Amino acid sequence: MNDLVNYIKVNNIGSYKKNVKLSDVTSYKVGGVSRIFVWPKNTDKLILLLKKLKEDNINYKVLGLGSNVIFSDKQYDGVIIKLDCFNDIKIDDTVVTAGAGVSLVKLSYKMQKEGLTGLEFASGIPGSVGGAVFMNAGAYKSDMGYVVSKIKVLNPELEIQTLYNKDLKYKYRTSYLKDNPDYICLEATLFLKRGNKDEIKELMEKRRKKRLDTQPLEYPSAGSVFRNPEGDFAGRLIEDCGLKGYTIGGAKVSEKHANFIVNANKATASDVKNLIDYVHDKVKQNTGVDLKIEQEFVNWE
C-alpha cells in the first residue's frame, strides 16, 4: 500500500487515511479495519485512482454513509473510496441535481425549505444520494425510482455516462446499479414539484415523530433488515415467530420493531450476520416465506 499512498500524494488525488475502523463509519458500528480510505477530490481524480487500483489488482469498495452495509470482522485488504467531496446541489426550478456524496436526509430538508415536494419519503433515510440511487431506497410507498430522472455514472471502462430512469430498471429496493456494481453513481438529477413549505414540513415532522415512536433509533442499526414480501410485512412475520428480543451475542431483534436488528451490546459483525441468518431461516421454516435481505454483506468471502 505504500506505493498506492505515494501515488495518491503525487497525483493529488485527495485526502486519505490508513487503518480505518469500519465500525466508525457504518451505522451498525461493526466491522474490521480497512487498510486505507480515500476521498477523491473530483471525478478526474477518482478516475486516476481507479485506473491505479485496476492496474495493480487492488480490491476497492465505494462507500456512501455506511447505512446499509455490513462488513465482516476481518481486515478489508483493499481501498474504501468515499465520495464525500461530490456534494454539490444545483436547483433549476423543480429540477434538482445532487452529488453522490450528499446526505439524503439533508437534501430532503433542503427541498422542504425550497418548497419542493416529492422527497419527503427520504427525510428519515440515513444514506447518501449515491447509495439511495444504488439500492432504490424508499419509504411510505415511494422511492428513488419515482423522482430520479437521470444519473451520471462512471462505467466499467471509466467513462462518464448518463443513465436515464428507464435504464435503471427500478424495482422494489433494487436497480440496474445494484445488479451492476462496477457502475459508480457520481450525481443524480431529480424531478420534483412545487409544494407548500408548511405542509411539507408538517408531513416530515409527523413522520419523524412516528419513527421515534416505532423504530429503535436509540441503538445502532441499518434500518429494515428484510424487504416486505408482497402483501405482507417482514416485521409481522418475524414477530409472529416469537423472535422479538432474540439475541445472538450483542445483536438483538428489536422489541420495538421486529424488522430491525440492533447492536444492543458491543455486537460483532458476525453476531449481526448470524442473527440475520437465524431470523431468515426461522421465518422460512415456520411460514414458508423466503425473506429477502436488504443489506449488503462485504468482505465475508
Annotated catalytic residue within 27, 34, 120, 173:
173
Residue 23 falls in the annotated catalytic set: no
Give the three cell numbers for residue 220: 445502532
Give the three cell numbers for residue 277: 441468518
CB-based contacts of 111-115 (< 8 A; 24+ apart in sequence): 111/192, 111/200, 112/197, 112/200, 112/201, 112/204, 113/197, 115/194, 115/195, 115/196, 115/197, 115/200
Q: How far apart are CA 48 and CA 52, in angstroms?
A: 6
Residue 199 falls in the annotated catalytic set: no
What are the respective helix, strand and coil percentages of the chain, to the nearest 5? 35, 30, 35
Three-state secondary-structure class, residue 10: helix
Residue 294 falls in the annotated catalytic set: yes
Least Cα distance to 277 among 257, 295, 265, 255 occurs for 295
Q: Which residues are catalytic?
A: 173, 224, 294
